[in-house]
Amino acid sequence: MTNLTAANKVRYDLSGKAAIVTGAASGIGLATATMLARNGCTVAINYLAGDARGPEAVANLRQEGCNVIEAPGSVSDPKGGPKMIEDTIRKLGRLDLLVNNAGTPGVTEVVPPSRLDLITDEMWETIMQTNLIGLFRLSKAAAPTLKEYHGSIVSVASIAGLHNAGSSLAYGASKAGVVNLTKNLARGLGPEVRVNAIAPGAVDSSWQIQWTDDARKGSIEKAALKRRCQPEDLAEVIVFLAFGASMVTGQTVVVDGGLTL
């Protein structure tokens, strides 16, 4: 099914498969949607309505000959999120993979754990609705079709959900929830559906957190592989968990270049 290319990347024959990738207008989501589509998968690219990067990504991939469709909508919308999943599944005709990538840090600068005064109820609500509750709603909506096609779910957690402070304690808590939810969804949806997650470390992408040059250099120096993750590094692991890891479920794979060793 797979073979190593000269670029040392695993390739898959995903013809006839269909996937939904949330938060796919940029970063990890776009890299994942691109890798899936280039390997023959039909991909629904989810993005926030009004984000011009979404239609642009779809247009660019179609120019390459990839089979992609638009799936605008907010994953945090209690009704709109599940409806987006249901409508998109009808358009795709099937579903083999849901990538829960959409998320928010809720802040633009890191909030130290000691600054409890900066953690507001509004921040909790925004982060939890997007990163955790919305993720569950979408997984629930997709579950019947994923069971039918023996598909999989791959969610994007974070090292902040394991043992890193992250951008704020609220963000870390939401990602810890993703790690736990991944285990329980794997229990609940097995044996038909495998459910896994990845925990990225420092990633170079269009994320909302503002990194200083010193912080960026520090993350490189601390990493065993002496570099920061690129979105494609995360996409490679997501695709592997989705289509190449038939006996892996309920796991969260750390992808950080050894940053947290």
Catalytic positions: 171
Provide the terminal-to-terminal Cα distance of the chain, rounded to the nearest Å: 33
Tokens of 168: 């704020």
Q: CB-based burial of residue 137 (10 Å sphere; 0-12 exposed, 13-18 middle, 19+ buried)?
A: buried
Count of residues in the chain: 261
Query: Which residues have a Cβ under 8 Å from the Cβ of 4 and sit 6 or more positions away?
Result: 10, 11
Q: Answer for the pair 34, 61: CB distance below 8 angstroms, yes or no.
A: yes
Query: What span, in angstroms and rounded, lies between the C-alpha atoms of 242 and 99?
Result: 9
